[in-house]
Amino acid sequence: MKLEACPVNLDEANAFVVRHHRHHGAVVGHKFSLGAVLNEEIVGVVIVGRPVARMRDDGMTLEVTRMCSDGTRNACSFLYGAAARAAFALGYKRIGTYILASETGVSLKASGWRLIGETKGRSWSRSSRPRVDTHPLDNKLLFEATHD
């Protein structure tokens, strides 16, 4: 059988993420979400929104804020490709995502995304606005696909 893409609403995508993601939970908002379907069952989701980093939020860039699969072969690379095509069809010029530096990025590379940088992992908490960190504080790799 072949993977197929389908639209999913944010509640459905977040429910999948809560059930299957290794180190992240639900997100608050998004521009769009897609599912990967195999044998009439959702086996992965991608949630795409505005970039988290202010410097990347230029109105022409989107960001994959969650990528999650149940382990189905090629589901992640399929969804990265589908997310990029959808973003470009909507008129965006770039789509990016951050992964942990300890991850290989093989699904991103297989989808034609390229590594463009590394950023230090750090806490969101500041003395002026204390927060409890629920995400990994490891260094991150930034991958991006562009529409030429």
Number of domains in the chain: 1
Give per-10-residue mean pLDDT for the chain (148 aa). Answer: 96 95 79 97 98 94 96 96 98 96 94 93 70 68 95
- Taken as a whole, the chain contains a residue count of 148
Left (φ > 0), alpha (ψ -120 to 50) or beta: where does 136 sit?
Answer: beta
Centre a 10 Å sphere on the Cβ of residue 115 and count the other Cβ atoms it contains: 13
Q: What is the pLDDT, as a whole number, of residue 137?
A: 62
Q: What is the pLDDT, as a whole number, of residue 133?
A: 60
User: Global pTM?
Assistant: 0.88
Q: What is the pLDDT, as a whole number, of residue 125?
A: 60
Q: What is the pLDDT, as a whole number, of residue 119?
A: 86
> Which CATH number covers residue 124?
3.40.630.30
> Domain limits at 74?
4-146
State the Cα–Cα distance between residues 82 and 103, nearest whole angstrom: 21
State the Cα–Cα distance between residues 97 and 66, nearest whole angstrom: 9
Is there a contact between 51 and 84 (Cβ–Cβ < 8 Å)?
no
State the Cα–Cα distance between residues 105 and 111, nearest whole angstrom: 10
Only one residue has tokens 């606005």, namely 129
Q: What is the pLDDT, as a whole number, of residue 141?
A: 95
